[in-house]
Structure 1
């Protein structure tokens, strides 16, 4: 658990990290790169480009931030531009590959637990952008009935497991999905 005192959303996401070795400076600088109204949902550490940094999953985009003494690096991936996400994990570390706008970004040396959780939440977010409701957005149209229900429930389970939605949101959405049958 990482204890910082930046702002509530960042503090909550940082508290879920096992370690912030090499990324505490980035956590403290994160508010400087966020857009107005943007909130942090998950954090992970990883190696991208020229150094270790912080991967932040927000309500609008995926951000990689490296804030070193001599150099800084910021790269963001708005969700509407991400076409695919891959996760490959080893015993302790893994690699997240993000395909966005014809580019491939590999974030290596991510701790397996936080990296996989972030990859799963990112996949669920992208699935939400493609038709299912996104985290924090109420469903307004009736849900399609049939075999699609199982996949929607599985996505909902992944969102809860990744910490992207609360237990109350999970129960509410699960009820709506089942009521649509």
Structure 2
């Protein structure tokens, strides 16, 4: 898959999650195709400011890990990722319209402020869901989900590998599994 189509796929994922990043997150979003594994899915994304250096950043919760992305023009790219099993706590504090998120990872605290109040709460809930799961449940899965298989079928049809009839037949079989 080309980097461009992976970026489009990421944008579609965000749209489905009802996440509309601001123009300030554009640089970080453009880095995601190189950061995420091909089959890694975004669960939620927030943007805000790194409390240490006041840079605009994004914090991405995926089905495997938590990723902190800081892409600044003068300072290059900084990416930190954290296994959910290494996160001991995540909390948010709200002010008038904005919130801050504090994540305790082993012996370090990651602090982000300037996050939308609603988004901070939802982000923390999503991360807590993964923190409560055994680590093996969000590592690479041996069998793709029905949705993944449907997406694969769609790509095979688009590229001409499958005819319309073959596509519909395989789609029907997959839908019966649901």
**TM > 0.5 fold call:** yes
Provide the residue aligned with 1:33 in structure 2: 35
Q: Please give the secondary structure, in 1, of the residue aligned with 2:74.
A: coil
CA RMSD of aligned residues (A): 2.6
Instruction: Say which structure is richer in helix.
Output: 2
Structure 1: give runs of 5+ residues left out of the alignment.
Answer: 138-171, 173-181
Structure 2: give runs of 5+ residues left out of the alignment.
Answer: 142-177
Post-superposition offset of 1:12: 2.1
Deviations 1:103-144 (A, max 9, x none): 1111111111212110111112212238xx77xx9xxxxxxx
Post-superposition offset of 1:17: 2.5
Provide the residue aligned with 2:79 in structure 1: 74
Deviations 1:56-108 (A, max 9, x none): 11111111111121112211111111111111112211111111112111111
Q: Residue 110 in 1 paired to residue 90 in 2?
A: no
> Structure 2-normalised TM-score?
0.64
In the superposition, relative to structure 1, how do residues 21 and 7 fare at CA in structure 2: closer, same or farther (>3 Å)? closer
Separation in 2, partners of 1:20, 1:58 = 20
> Structure 1-normalised TM-score?
0.63
Q: Please give the secondary structure, in 2, of the residue aligned with 1:46.
A: strand
* Mapping 1:41-80, distance limit 5 Å: 41-48=43-50, 49-50=52-53, 51-71=55-75, 72-80=77-85
In the superposition, relative to structure 1, how do residues 60 and 102 fare at CA in structure 2: closer, same or farther (>3 Å)? same
Q: Please give the secondary structure, in 2, of the residue aligned with 1:97.
A: strand
Larger Rg: 2
Separation in 1, partners of 2:47, 2:127 = 15
Judge conservation of contact 2:14–2:20 (CA < 8 Å) in 1: no
Consecutive aligned runs of 4 or more in structure 1 exceeding 3 Å deviation: none
In the superposition, relative to structure 1, how do residues 70 and 109 fare at CA in structure 2: closer, same or farther (>3 Å)? same
Judge conservation of contact 1:9–1:41 (CA < 8 Å) in 2: no
Separation in 1, partners of 2:19, 2:42 = 13
